[in-house]
């Protein structure tokens, strides 16, 4: 089983006096660099960091910051979440999202929703109910009951995502595979794991995570990936870390990536970097690809991925925001 | 936070030459013993053990055995899974199920399905696809594509489950609460966590788990509990253990009970019994109730619960099958 790590030099950084830390991602994938204009992707990541940092800099909570950052990523059509989500095999949108509060282990999540403008905000509303995970029509009804903004299918439509589905379905059996076409993004759209996510440590020492996704192109209707599943695509616990994952979701579910990173830190004494790499290694051993964005209670950041690149960014109190796509 | 353990004397038993082990449960809950006739519940558990043991005794796989045992529990209306499932707040049935193979970490699961006669068999079919978790109408379509038997709503109906919903909804706000009514089962139906599940170790040393449930009475449509979530209500890994959980699902999700038991064994060197009790203690600290049924690679069994009782049974090669409801 061949796979490799492409850690960045920021994978683990220590702060002498941590105040707040925020990291975001816009998905991982495979593609040679320089294929298309990368600037809009960097701008989208910076906008998300700015939305979250505004809250953290004012002493706001990690939970509010990650929801704000993911909302910005959902509103940006370049990323596969909210507006700009990919299409299912029946040419519809089915979106998943989740939030988790490391200070209480409270979590809220939604799966296969079609109309909420910002699925992450619906997940946040579910967190305040007696449920953790709501799906489909029931989740839509919950959204209406709670007054969340709904949008028509046209809002979520993007021409290149629909073309992407049509190209994929033109191939044998509609299976996902490497395509022979001109790239429209720095990372290959057909091999891009288009989750978005954010993790944060706030100035009071609390951790939180949020994720959102349109899932995988040409997925079976009703398919739920790792993103809305606590312990798989998302996890947060003030005792250890906040994690959000992006990748071939089924492998991340089987490897329980989010909780595994926590468990390696809590039970085996691993550092954030060691735990993240070990959990991703298991994904690789199963045959999956992707990456994670994680922050620990000391403000260390880990951004490892086992794919050619991952749209990612981070910012800390008193430092300039940084964004990257490939290893560097 | 008050909670207590009620372990059985079988919580951890060592075998000198393990050949196979099977354990099942029909839900946990609260109620004084002796309220009603317990015999049919014992008979239902024995039938499930017999269905699974037939396969194990012939050298069959743990995976086949747990699917057979859970199928039997689904077919028995006394238990809240398949036929006899509880009602949602809109007086419908929405069922969840999952299977996991400890030898490959392969998993299959379905959520909020309404027609499959045996949701666990649909989960088993999903395990053979490129997906792990399918929900709602998409899962129903997958079931039709794969020729699984569908039943009309009348098949899943039971009069006492509908009465249970009506009584519950007659209370303030339709919230789940302690009811003042004559019990119809040894465990209070309004406080019974009606998952069913099975775990097995086969003669080749492989572990597997299966779970199925109608969820919680009066649940919001679209609600997904811990049962179909890998690492929460179900987990299996040949390196450590096979687990299935039953209880107040939202707490089991937040505590990642299934994967937590594995992680405590794999990373902290805990025994099956220690790991199961520690994971359940976290559920209790969060405010939840319930239990787990687990078996490890040596054939040890743990059946701890933090509630007044749990319908449970177990059998091992060369030993007579045993069933219990309360602690004893």
Tokens of A153: 């299918």
Cβ neighbour number for residue B159 with a 10 Å cutoff? 7
Q: Which residue, among A175, A217, A229, would best test binding to B if mutated, counting the most B CBs under 10 Å from its CB?
A: A229
**pLDDT per residue as tens digits for the range B42-55:** 999 999 999 999 99
Token reading at A188? 């290959």
Contact state of A256 with B253 under an 8 Å Cβ cutoff: no
Mutate to test the interface with B, among A94, A103, A224, A227 (most CBs of B within 10 A): A224
Query: Do the Cβ atoms of B124 and B99 come closer than 8 Å?
Result: yes
Q: How many Å lie between the alpha carbon of B43 and the closest alpha carbon of chain A?
A: 33
Q: How many CB pairs below 8 A link A and B?
A: 148
Question: Does A134 contact chain B (CB < 8 Å)?
Answer: yes
Give the pLDDT score at B37: 83
Which of A106, A136, A255 lies nearest to residue B136, judging by beta carbons?
A: A136
- Chain A residues whose CB is inside 8 A of the B253 CB are 107, 132-133, 230-231
Alpha carbon distance B123, B67 (integer Å): 9
Question: Which residue of B87, B137, B263, B285 to mutate against A (max A Cβ within 10 Å)?
Answer: B263
Average pLDDT for B270-294: 97
B89 near A CB under 8 A = no
User: How many angstroms separate the CA atoms of B260 and B255, rounded?
Assistant: 8
| pLDDT reading at A33 higher than 90 | no
The confidence score (pLDDT) of residue A191 equals 67
pLDDT of amino acid B164 = 82
Q: Do B231 and A235 touch (CB under 8 A)?
A: no
Percentages helix, strand, coil for chain A (3-state, rounded to 5) are 30, 25, 45
pLDDT value of position B239: 97
Among A28-42, B76-90, B109-123, name the most confident range.
B109-123
Contact (CB, 8 A) for B46 and B323: yes
When pLDDT is averaged across residues B152-167 and rounded to a whole number, the result is 88
* Residue B262 near residue A254, CB atoms below 8 Å: no
**CB contacts, 8 Å: B223 with chain A:** 131, 133-135, 138
Confidence band of B327 (pLDDT split at 50, 70, 90): confident
Residue B171's pLDDT band (boundaries 50, 70, 90)?
A: confident
Residues A231, B258: Cα–Cα separation, whole Å: 10
Residue A318: is it exposed, middle or buried by C-beta count within 10 angstroms (0-12/13-18/19+)? exposed
Is B88 marked active-site?
no
Q: Which of B141, B27, B137 is nearest to B74 (CA)?
A: B27
Check if A231 contacts B (Cβ < 8 Å): yes
- CB interface of B with A, residues 168-207, below 8 Å: none
* Tens digits of residue pLDDT in A83-94: 988 888 898 999
| Residue whose token pair is 């040393």 | B205
Q: Is B283 touching A (CB cutoff 8 A)?
A: no
Counting Cβ atoms within 10 Å, is residue A58 exposed (0-12), middle (13-18) or buried (19+)? exposed
Q: Judge whether A222 is closer than 8 Å to chain B, CB to CB.
A: yes
CA distances from B299 to A206, B61, B64, B119, B237 (A): 41, 14, 17, 27, 13
CB contact under 8 A, B112 and A135: yes
Question: B186: helix, coil or strand?
Answer: coil
- Are B266 and B231 contacting, i.e. CB atoms less than 8 angstroms apart? no
Q: How far apart are CA B164 and CA B74, in angstroms?
A: 19
Instruction: Kindly determine whether residue A134 and residue B224, on different chains, have CB atoms separated by under 8 Å.
Output: yes
Q: In a 10 Å sphere around its CB, with 0-12 CB exposed, 13-18 middle and 19+ buried, how is residue A281 labelled?
A: middle
In chain A, residues with a C-beta closer than 8 Å to the C-beta of B134 are: 220, 222-224
What is the model's pTM?
0.91
Distance from CA of A307 to the nearest CA of B (A): 20
**Please, which residues have CB within 8 angstroms of residue B259's CB and are 6 or more apart in sequence?**
A231, A256, A259, A260, A263, B230, B231, B232, B235
Return the residue in B100, B123, B136, B281 with the most chain A beta carbons within 10 A, the one to mutate for interface testing.
Answer: B136
- Per-residue confidence at A328, pLDDT binned at 50, 70, 90? low
Tokens matching residue A44: 């989208």
pLDDT (tens digit, 9 = 90+) per residue, A148-200? 999 999 999 888 888 888 888 887 554 443 333 445 678 776 667 789 999 99
Q: What is the pLDDT at residue A286?
A: 97
The answer to whether the CB atoms of A107 and B253 lie below 8 A apart is yes
Does residue B229 sit at the A interface (CB-CB below 8 Å)? yes
User: Is A224 at the interface with chain B, CB within 8 A?
Assistant: yes
In chain A, % of residues over pLDDT 70: 87
Quick one: which H or E segment has residue A201? strand A196-201
Is the CB of B108 inside 8 Å of chain A's CB atoms?
A: no
Which stretch of DSSP H or E encloses residue A25? strand A21-29
Q: Tell whether the model's pLDDT for residue A5 goes beyond 50.
A: no
Q: In terms of DSSP bridges, do strands A241-247 and B133-135 run parallel, antiparallel, or are they unpaired?
A: unpaired
Which member of B8, B71, B195, B323 is catalytic?
A: B195
Instruction: Say if the Cβ atoms of A105 and B230 lie within 8 Å.
Output: no
B43 inside 8 A of chain A by CB: no
Q: What is the DSSP letter of B85?
A: P
Establish if B142 touches chain A: CB-CB under 8 angstroms: yes
pLDDT, chain A, mean: 89
> Which residues of A belong to the active site?
195
pLDDT confidence of residue A319: 95
């Amino acid at each position: 089983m061949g796979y490799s790590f492409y850690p960045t030099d920021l994978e683990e950084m220590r702060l002498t006096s941590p105040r707040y830390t925020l990291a975001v991602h816009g998905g991982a994938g495979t593609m040679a660099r320089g294929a298309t204009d990368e600037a809009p992707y960097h701008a989208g990541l910076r906008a998300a960091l700015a939305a979250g940092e505004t809250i953290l800099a004012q002493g706001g909570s990690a939970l509010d910051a990650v929801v704000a950052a993911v909302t910005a990523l959902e509103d940006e059509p370049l990323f596969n979440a909210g507006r700009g989500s990919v299409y299912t095999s029946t040419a519809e949108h089915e979106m998943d999202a989740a939030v988790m509060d490391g200070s209480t282990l409270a979590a809220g999540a939604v799966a296969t929703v079609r109309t909420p403008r910002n699925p992450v905000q619906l997940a946040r509303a579910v967190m305040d109910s007696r449920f953790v995970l709501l799906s489909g029509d029931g989740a839509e009804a919950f959204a209406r009951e709670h007054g969340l903004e709904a949008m028509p299918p046209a809002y979520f439509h993007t021409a290149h995502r629909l073309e992407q589905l049509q190209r994929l379905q033109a191939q044998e059996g509609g299976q996902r595979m490497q395509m022979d076409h001109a790239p429209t993004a720095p990372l290959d759209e057909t091999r891009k794991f288009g989750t978005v996510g954010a993790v944060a440590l706030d100035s009071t020492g609390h951790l939180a995570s949020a994720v959102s996704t349109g899932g995988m192109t040409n997925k079976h209707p009703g398919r739920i990936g790792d993103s809305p599943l606590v312990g798989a695509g998302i996890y947060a616990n003030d005792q250890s870390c906040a994690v959000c994952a992006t990748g071939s979701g089924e492998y991340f579910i089987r490897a329980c990536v989010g909780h595994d990173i926590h468990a390696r830190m809590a039970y085996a004494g691993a550092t954030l970097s060691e735990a993240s790499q070990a959990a991703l290694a298991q994904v690789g051993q199963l045959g999956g690809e992707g990456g994670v964005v994680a922050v620990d209670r000391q403000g260390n950041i880990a951004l490892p991925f086992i794919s050619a690149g991952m749209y990612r960014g981070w910012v800390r109190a008193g430092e300039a925001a940084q964004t990257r796509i490939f290893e560097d």
